[in-house]
Amino acid sequence: GQNIDQPTEMTATEGAIVQINCTYQTSGFNGLFWYQQHAGEAPTFLSYNVLDGLEEKGRFSSFLSRSKGYSYLLLKELQMKDSASYLCAVGAGSYQLTFGKGTKLSVIP
């Protein structure tokens, strides 16, 4: 089976850096995805990791350790518009994605 854990909620200050962790246990693995979802909207793709290490894309970076079943999403220079839910999802053995429950990030002034 699949099990994906991430914190339910986080709060951070505008301009700061925040790290959202995700741990997973899956019966197969072919990649880890991070999606952003604003309230009432569709999830939008942020990043993909399949090999260990850090992937950087502008203000967003994502890290993966396959041996530890661990990933994090790092958001730098936080902006108010970054207030959203961040979903960790694993692809394992097929084309479907298994999502965590999401981390609701609130950015405060």
Partner 1 sequence: DTGVSQDPRHKITKRGQNVTFRCDPISEHNRLYWYRQTLGQGPEFLTYFQNEAQLEKSRLLSDRFSAERPKGSFSTLEIQRTEQGDSAMYLCASSRTGASYNEQFFGPGTRLTVL
How many whole angstroms separate alpha carbon 107 and alpha carbon 109?
7
User: In Å, what is the CA distance from 74 to each residue of 8, 40, 56?
Assistant: 16, 23, 9
Q: Verify binding: residue 54, partner 1, rule CB under 8 A.
A: no
Q: How many CB atoms lie within 10 A of CB 26?
A: 17
Instruction: Tell me: does residue 27 bind partner 1 (CB under 8 A).
Output: no
Q: Does 99 bind partner 1 (CB under 8 A)?
A: yes
- Does 48 contact partner 1 by CB under 8 A? yes
Q: Which of 23, 55, 70, 97 binds partner 1 (CB under 8 A)?
A: 97
Given the complex with partner 1, which of 95 and 109 has the nearer CB atom? 95
